Amino acid sequence: MNLPELPEVETVRQGLIQGLQGKTIRDVLIRREGLRFPFPDDLPTVAGTTVLDIRRRAKYLLIDLDDGRVLLSHLGMSGRYTLFSSEEADAVAVPLLQTVNGGVPVSAFGSQTGYDGKHDHLEFVFTDGTRAVYTDPRRFGVIDLFPRIEEPVHALLERLGPEPFEQWSAKDLAARLQHRKTAIKIALLNQHIVVGVGNIYACEALHRSGLSPRREARTLVRKNGTPTKRLEQLVNEVKQVLDEAIAAGGSTLNDFASVDGTLGYFAHRFTVYGREDEPCLKDGCGGTVERITQSNRSTFLCPRCQR
């Protein structure tokens, strides 16, 4: 099972900001004690606040509220948000006899969110009648609430590396790889080195760059600490493959859905990931894609053109 990667999370962010920005939360329906961690005790106090903005840091969604707090959300392995208009919400607003969590109605959106509503753990109700339902069957997601002033020292955020779309360059990456003997694929997955690349897109970027995922990271840095041409190409390919995935709406992971319930289509364009024993798609290569295991994750590569 693959976790939603940066393009999937960015797709969700874009959908949420279109659907929620400027809206005021009227109520929060909480149907369990937590997910990977317990829900914050003060989660109900977001009622009455207005959503100012929705940002992304690595794979975390950061929802800025007008009272100076941030509602943090991580999708885990299978989390998703589904937005419902006031008309859609009214259509299913029938009296329900069954309740959970001290009287909270069982989700009425099961046919739209899946699993008969059993995993609709949070439901944000807005003053205009719209709703945002968070569904997570595996419950590896994270919800937290904290003052924005504490964001730089938040335990989940403070040690994260640079974003691949900001002022991230081959020079920055070289500085972090200069003395690392670890394989370059593993280095790309290290969230202290660069955030959000993820397993699928690391495989794709390395294939495009012609770099073996087994190659020692430090061999891509010159003795004086400057990046080699191959490292510069890798950085460019990482940015390009993530850009393409975001434009395509994220990859079609088994349990990933964007906020309108539709799936992305970038998976149909993978050149190496998931293509074990199939021909390499690079012109003139003639190699065959192999799968190896690195740090308990599947890596796909063409040993002929990736060195």
57-to-48, 105, 141, 166, 210 alpha-carbon distances in Å: 25, 33, 15, 11, 29
Reading the block at residue 25, the tokens are: 């939360």
Spatial distance between the Cα atoms of 72 and 239, rounded to a whole number of angstroms:
25
Q: Which residue(s) pair with 65 in the sheet?
A: 51
Angle between helices 170-177 and 229-247 (to 10 degrees): 120
Catalytic annotation, residues: 4-5, 59, 297
Q: Which residue(s) pair with 292 in the sheet?
A: 299
Q: Which residue(s) pair with 60 in the sheet?
A: 57, 74
Spatial distance between the Cα atoms of 140 and 124, rounded to a whole number of angstroms:
19
Name 87's Cβ contacts closer than 8 Å, sequence gap at least 6.
Answer: none
Place of tokens 């069982």: 106
